Amino acid sequence: MKYESQGIAKMYFIAAIGLFVGQILFGVTLGLQYVMGDFLFPAIPFNVARMVHTNLLIVWLLFGFMGSAYYLVPEESERELYAPWLAKLMFWVFLAAGVLTILGYLLVPYATLAEMTMNHLLPTMGREFLEQPTITKIGIVIVVLAFLFNIGMTILTGKKTVITLVLITGLIGLAVFFLFAFYVPDNLVLDKYFWWFVVHLWVEGVWELIMASLLAYVLIKVTGVDREVIEKWLYIIIAMALISGLLGTGHHFFWIGTPDYWQWVGSIFSALEPIPFFMMTLFAFNVVNKRRRDHPNKAAVLWALGTAVMAFLGAGVWGFLHTLAPVNYYTHGTQITAAHGHMAFYGAYVMVVLTMISYSMPIMRGQKAANERAQVLEMWSFWLMTVSMVFITLFLTGAGVLQVYLQRYSETPLPFMVVQDKIEIFYWLREVAGLVFLIGLLLYVYSFFAKGKEVEDIGAAVTS
Amino acid sequence: MRETFTKGMARNIYYGGAVFFFLVLIGLTVDTVKSIPKTDNRENLSEQVVAGKYLWEVNDCIGCHTLLGEGAYFAPELGNVYTRFGKSTDAIKGFIKSRPKTGIPGRRSMPQFNFTDEELEQIAQFLKYVDGIKIARDWPPNVQG
């Protein structure tokens, strides 16, 4: 670690991993509720468990992004963080806001939570992924602004690199588009249209900038490949991400009462959305092949390559699968969507954060890389989580294909609940895969505590 | 990548592409906002419907159901429930009202929300309004949602 303030990332990463465990515990709960409908009913109904599952994901990814930025920006800018105390303070504010919100979901009925937090003054609750009480949303804005100020001032007063510029662009975009979370018109068509300005322009827009810059940073560090080469790739990847992704928003405007031209715009541009992810795969394998040294942190290299491949599969391939309007006509809002959502979030954003953690955590703990046994366990956890996520996706896809056929495509469409009973086997299999994922995650956590033989630095050409 | 393709060129594609397509998105957004009065059923956006939408939100209905295909996939689509229930707001109200407090053994069940009659009417009117939004190709494909 070159700069002391980089170490602030550690608390962010620990919180991220802790919340990740919570997210997955609720994930397997939801999976069980799919097959045992009365499980935990009425104490924790499905919608509450789902809110906890998705909101924990968002919060821990934000912890991950912030931790990554706090680690990466001082080193790239060649100076200490502008205000380390602010980063520490905001950590506790964000953690408190996150934990209180989750407890609110679990301890009181959602309508009561809305009343307690005076939602009627500025109603923003009750929209998918943006269920947080208005006061929490305001808290998120404050934390993100303080974070952006801190990171921004560090970059402005330090050395500017392409990686930090792309990262801060992505983070500013994240903050700006979140403001649409406060716009909840009575008109449902408008409501849905601008809701996507948060959701789509985050995950299929500015978050891709964050992801690409984090990946580029780790690849520079573990391969020692020339910055010029990596920066060129970075620019072209994010160019394609925005060129395809901005108008790709149109694939959400097929069936919400918006004009027909979105069917063409959305289909064409979202069909291009796999391109940046495919380029990321080429990029990652290319620079690892051209590496100038063998970094002792093999687990981090595995995560970096895995991110590129899984993001392409989850976001690229599974996204394309149902993005063309004539296909989406049948698949919209079925288990196909759930399949895509799971692998895309895991492949792109979960894995890129785990890549950053894998690379930086040993360094923050005073080693170049984790010991051999810890790395082997971490790589086992990589495979357990990644392979079980592939199976979760395949089982949900199987469920989705049958659901589409039975409920939407056949001559005699069946009611929703009848179809759900018929495709139950896939939900059971998904639940088993989910449990394997949980085992992989617990192994991942354990790998941080595993003792073993320290690794030797074999390629000390470049120091991190 | 070949040397003839420089970092500067890549950077220009990024800036140029991002700005251009962002402006196109804004342009199409303006056009969409201007066109949707033809489809969005705003003439039926009564106070009752607005109150119903608020109840829809503060009870997190989207956490189980889809509405126009968006939401969770645990419970039926409700964008066309008014049609599915024989164009009867009474049927919708009756269903919500009849949910058992402790659920149904072994099966998924909607929670009992203890809505007042006025609230039930507001929710039913909201779902009726949503059903009246004109969707491209009359999505969903059939009445089952």
Size of interface A-B (CB pairs under 8 A): 236
B81 touching chain A per CB within 8 A: no
A257 Rama sector, left if φ>0, alpha if ψ -120 to 50, beta otherwise: left
Question: How far from A97 is each of A94, A106, A178, B46, CA to CA, in Å?
Answer: 5, 14, 17, 36
- Non-local (6+) Cβ contacts of A390 within 8 A are A313, A343
**Residue in A with minimal Cα distance to B130:** A188
> How large is the average pLDDT for residues B9-31?
98
A263 touching chain B per CB within 8 A: yes
Q: Which of residues 25-44 of B touch A (CB under 8 A)?
A: 25, 28-29, 31-33, 35-36, 39-42
- Reply yes or no on whether the pLDDT at A462 is more than 80: no
**Residue in A with minimal Cα distance to B31:** A259
Q: What is the pLDDT of residue B29?
A: 98
Looking up tokens 């970096």 gives A304
Q: Which residues of A touch B102 (CB under 8 A)?
A: 41-42
HEC secondary structure over A386-455: HHHHHHHHHHHHHHHHHHHHHHHHCCCCCCHHHHHHHCHHHHHHHHHHHHHHHHHHHHHHHHCCCCCCCC
pLDDT band (50, 70, 90) for residue A275: very high
State percent of chain A over pLDDT 70.
Answer: 98
Q: What is the pLDDT of residue B2?
A: 58
pLDDT band (50, 70, 90) for residue A458: low
Write out pLDDT tens, residues A112-160.
999 999 999 999 999 999 999 999 999 999 999 999 999 999 999 999 9
**Residue in B with minimal Cα distance to A165:** B11
- Reply yes or no on whether the pLDDT at B110 is more than 80: yes
A452 touching chain B per CB within 8 A: no
Looking up tokens 């066109």 gives B35
Q: Which of residues 71-130 of A touch B (CB under 8 A)?
A: 110-111, 114-115, 119-120, 123, 125-128
Q: What is the pLDDT of residue A461?
A: 47
Q: What is the pLDDT of residue A457?
A: 65
**When comparing pLDDT for A462 and A98, which is higher?**
A98
* Cβ-defined contact of A189 to B18 (cutoff 8 Å): no
Q: What is the pLDDT of residue A453?
A: 92
Q: What is the pLDDT of residue A464?
A: 46
Tell me what the pLDDT averaged over chain A comes to.
Answer: 97
Q: List the structure tokens of A268.
A: 């064409």
Q: What is the pLDDT of residue A456?
A: 76
Would you say B23 and A246 are in contact if contact means Cβ atoms under 8 Å apart?
A: no
> How large is the average pLDDT for residues A3-11?
98
> How large is the average pLDDT for residues A14-20?
98
- Reply yes or no on whether the pLDDT at B142 is more than 60: yes
pLDDT band (50, 70, 90) for residue B4: confident
Name the residue among A110, A235, A409 with its Cβ closest to that of B10: A235
